[in-house]
Amino acid sequence: MDSQTVDRFTTQVAAFSTRARRVVAHSLVKDADLLERIAGGATIVRRTSGKLSIERALPREEPLESLAARVRPLTLQSEHIHYAKALKAINALLAHAGQHQHQDWTRQLETEWKSVDPKTGTPTYFHQTWGESTPPTEATDSALTLAWFYGDLVHADDQDSHTGTVFPIEERFSAAAIRTAQLATLTRDTLNWITWLVDNDSLDIAVLGDPEEHVVVTPSKTQELVAIYTGEATDEASLAPGADPVTIGMTPNGGPWNETTEDGQWVITIPWGSD
């Protein structure tokens, strides 16, 4: 394998690792016990006074939406960080390094990824609905998951979601929660595998990407500024399109900037819309 190809595969795995770090940093993934319960589709069936009820272990909708958004690029075949492409690159690099003994586990990971990919995996259950005047309608958990991803989460794609939309959003969400948790678990496991290969000198550390790169936004924090300068308030005309830009040492009104040396707090807002 020539050096250019090695660099390309290394960059591809590094990009996967960077996205995987973003997935692993999610609160639902950090709670390993909860993630495992969701991924396992934990369902409690109860009979009370002759009545049956079902309770599922599901997260709140908004946290799952953010996790699904972080995982989704890893499942899109058009993305260069698609899991199959990344795993292929890993095995190519292992072969180049003469580390053939580790390739089987990489292939096993790919098999597990494919099994939970809603577009390629095997359905694990199906829902059925029926009524007095309508024929029964069935949908697999894969179809319900795709209905949530493409009809509720990021698009309004009827082609992918028409089967699942027969069912209420709660059923679509339930199926998607399980698949999303499974995909997040495999993302974590794959990142751990890449890290292990690096730690055992089977892959170059470059496949982990830049460890100093921030992959999530940290809470707002205080930053030290060099100086604060204030000037006369700008009238509305000077903010209109085509107005002269602010120049060094002069406000839009032509007045001077004055350095502020007193302690205090200033709140800066940006006019928008009808403001």
Residue partners of 146: CB distance under 8 A and separation at least 6: 118, 119, 160, 161, 164
Q: Which of 110, 111, 167 shows the shortest CA–CA distance to 140?
A: 167
Q: Are 44 and 241 in contact (CB under 8 A)?
A: no
% of the chain exceeding 70 in pLDDT: 78
Instruction: Provide the pLDDT for residue 151.
Output: 82
Given a cut of 80, is residue 45 above it in pLDDT?
yes
Instruction: Provide the pLDDT for residue 161.
Output: 46
**How would you classify residue 234: left for phi > 0, otherwise alpha for psi between -120 and 50, otherwise beta?**
beta
Instruction: Please tell me the distance from the alpha carbon of residue 105 to that of residue 265, in angstroms, as a whole number.
Output: 57
Instruction: Provide the pLDDT for residue 247.
Output: 47
Instruction: Please tell me the distance from the alpha carbon of residue 45 to that of residue 53, in angstroms, as a whole number.
Output: 6
Instruction: Provide the pLDDT for residue 237.
Output: 41
Given a cut of 90, is residue 139 above it in pLDDT?
no
Instruction: Provide the pLDDT for residue 266.
Output: 73
- pLDDT tens, 175-219? 999 999 999 999 999 999 999 999 999 999 999 998 888 888 877
**Element holding 209 (H helix, E strand):** none
CB atoms within 10 A of CB 238: 14
Instruction: Please tell me the distance from the alpha carbon of residue 174 to that of residue 189, in angstroms, as a whole number.
Output: 23
Instruction: Provide the pLDDT for residue 257.
Output: 67
- pLDDT tens, 115-131? 999 888 877 776 666 55
Instruction: Please tell me the distance from the alpha carbon of residue 161 to that of residue 152, in angstroms, as a whole number.
Output: 9
Average pLDDT of the chain, as a whole number:
83
Given a cut of 60, is residue 163 above it in pLDDT?
yes
Q: What is the pTM of this model?
A: 0.79
Given a cut of 60, is residue 135 above it in pLDDT?
no
What is the pLDDT confidence band of residue 258, given thresholds at 50, 70 and 90?
Answer: confident
Q: Which of 62, 79, 63, 59 shows the shortest CA–CA distance to 19?
A: 79
Of 55 and 249, the one with more pLDDT: 55
Q: Are 57 and 42 in contact (CB under 8 A)?
A: yes
Q: Are 161 and 146 in contact (CB under 8 A)?
A: yes
Say which amino acid occupies 22.
Answer: R
- pLDDT tens, 51-108? 888 788 889 999 999 999 999 999 999 999 999 999 999 999 999 999 999 999 999 9
Instruction: Tell me what percent of the chain is helix, strand and coil, each rounded to the nearest 5.
Output: 50, 10, 40
Instruction: Provide the pLDDT for residue 126.
Output: 64
Instruction: Provide the pLDDT for residue 245.
Output: 47
Least confident of 63-72, 119-128, 238-247, 248-257: 238-247
Instruction: Please tell me the distance from the alpha carbon of residue 267 to that of residue 30, in angstroms, as a whole number.
Output: 35
Given a cut of 80, is residue 24 above it in pLDDT?
yes
CA 166 to chain centre: 27
% of the chain exceeding 90 in pLDDT: 49
